[in-house]
Amino acid sequence: NAVQTVAGVGYSQYNGQVRLSTAYTNGSYWMQDPLRGTGGKFGVNTVVDAAHTGTAGDVYMRTFNSWGDGQDYQLGWPTLGENGQTAAVNAMWGMMNTYDTLKNVLGWSSLDGNNTATYIAVHAWDGYDNAYYSDACHCMFIGDGGARFYNLGAIDIIGHEMGHGVTAATAALDYHFESGGLNESASDINGEMTEAYANAGAGGATIPARGNDWLIGQQVSRSGAPLRWMIKPSKDGASPNAWSWQLQNLDVHYSSGPNNRMFYFLSQGSSADPASDAFSPYLNKWPRAMTGIGNDKAYRIWFRALTTKFTSTTDYMDARNKLYASAIELYGPGPESAAVLRAYAAVNVGK
Ligand code: ASN
Ligand code: ZN
């Protein structure tokens, strides 16, 4: 019984009806993607049910290739709306799109660059208001949400967690001090660029210039407030907008703020209007506003530095210097490398 690759239909929570790549064998459809990843625990990229525990359980299986369509069931779990197959649809679509962003745009295969298959375990824990990448399994766990969030399987969150897998396999940025903030920012950047690529739905080898919201986890938020604001990180009441010596003492989800803001400026530019969220008081050079270079170039520069130049102890100044070198390698001396220096200067790193 050879495994066939077949196109399924999924009803997702945040993106409507989506196409899923699934496997057919032995009379059943499996939420496994023969087109993406090889080896690893399941042989190809896969979605499994954590069944409200912290352990990866059974692979999602069905006798017809339509998922999360209101007839949700999985191995005895009752129909619970978002607690049925819908969570698996969210995860599968997010994993496909994150994989494709890395592969089609950057030529990077899966998380480790060697195309090793990974997997997502959904319904992680009970009432779990978070999601995470685990270095033990090189896989992701996605909660169903609780007081703050709905199911955490939005595209930018899946992209964020898979981004941790890329960082772990490359720069391995230490998860504390400034390097920890850069580690978190690397994941937020990956989440937003995946969101832009997935939302366009066009495939291709570039990230659209626009199309992401620069808000992390906005879709999953019960209150509407995202987890993080990349344009102006201080809107969360805890993240700084610019680098300072105190940054290293913050939780990594706050010390990521200035680098997130830098990436926004690099891509979309900053404003000369002090009333704008995109205004930086640190950008003192004339003209005070800067022009962005777009998502695609910004992401390529960032990714090259992250995966070939950063080390586990890279800090903000080292990141700035290495993005500058990456920009010159990719585009030669010119507006791209100049924009890197200006974007970092706008968050108080260098001049
Ligand atoms: N969602 C969080 C993250 O990926 C989980 C954590 O704090 N480790 O950063
Ligand atoms: Zn993270």
- Kindly list the domain boundaries of the chain, sorted by start residue: 4-169, 177-345
Which atom from ligand 1 is nearest to the alpha carbon of 252?
9
Residue 316 has pLDDT above 50, yes or no: yes
pLDDT at residue 44 in the model? 98
Is pLDDT larger for residue 78 or for residue 233?
A: 233
The mean per-residue pLDDT over the stretch 203-231 comes to 96
CA-proximal residue: ligand 1, atom 4 (nearest): 132
The mean per-residue pLDDT over the stretch 325-330 comes to 98
- In tens, the pLDDT along 138-195 reads 999 999 998 999 999 999 999 999 999 999 999 999 999 999 999 999 999 999 999 9
% residues pLDDT > 90 (the chain): 89
pLDDT band of residue 70 (cuts 50, 70, 90) is low
The mean per-residue pLDDT over the stretch 92-120 comes to 98
- In tens, the pLDDT along 74-86 reads 433 434 443 488 8
Instruction: Note the CATH architecture for domain 177-345.
Output: Orthogonal Bundle (1.10)
pLDDT at residue 37 in the model? 98
- Cα 183 to ligand 2 centroid, rounded to whole Å: 8
CA-proximal residue: ligand 1, atom 6 (nearest): 132
The mean per-residue pLDDT over the stretch 190-201 comes to 97
Give the ligand with the smallest distance to the CA of 251.
Answer: 1
**Alpha-carbon Rg of the chain, whole angstroms?**
20
pLDDT at residue 83 in the model? 44
Sign of the CA dihedral running 100, 101, 104, 109: negative
pLDDT at residue 84 in the model? 80
What predicted TM-score, i.e. pTM, was given to this entire model?
A: 0.96
pLDDT at residue 284 in the model? 79
pLDDT at residue 1 in the model? 60
Q: Give the span between the Cα atoms of 118 and 111, in whole angstroms.
A: 8
4-169 belongs to CATH 3.40.47.10: no
Is pLDDT larger for residue 80 or for residue 292?
A: 292
The mean per-residue pLDDT over the stretch 257-284 comes to 96
Give the ligand with the smallest distance to the CA of 142.
Answer: 1
Which atom from ligand 1 is nearest to the alpha carbon of 130?
1
The mean per-residue pLDDT over the stretch 51-79 comes to 74
Place of tokens 């059943």: 28
**Site residues for ligand 1, CB cut-off 6 Å:** 130-132, 160-161, 164, 184
pLDDT at residue 224 in the model? 95
The mean per-residue pLDDT over the stretch 295-318 comes to 98
Which residues carry out catalysis? 161, 253
pLDDT at residue 113 in the model? 98
Which atom from ligand 1 is nearest to the alpha carbon of 253?
9
The mean per-residue pLDDT over the stretch 106-132 comes to 96
CA-proximal residue: ligand 1, atom 2 (nearest): 132
Asked whether 134 and 62 are in contact (CB, 8 A), the reply is no
Q: Write down the mean pLDDT value for the chain.
A: 94
Query: Are the folds of 4-169 and 177-345 the same?
Result: no
Residue 33 has pLDDT above 50, yes or no: yes
The mean per-residue pLDDT over the stretch 125-142 comes to 96
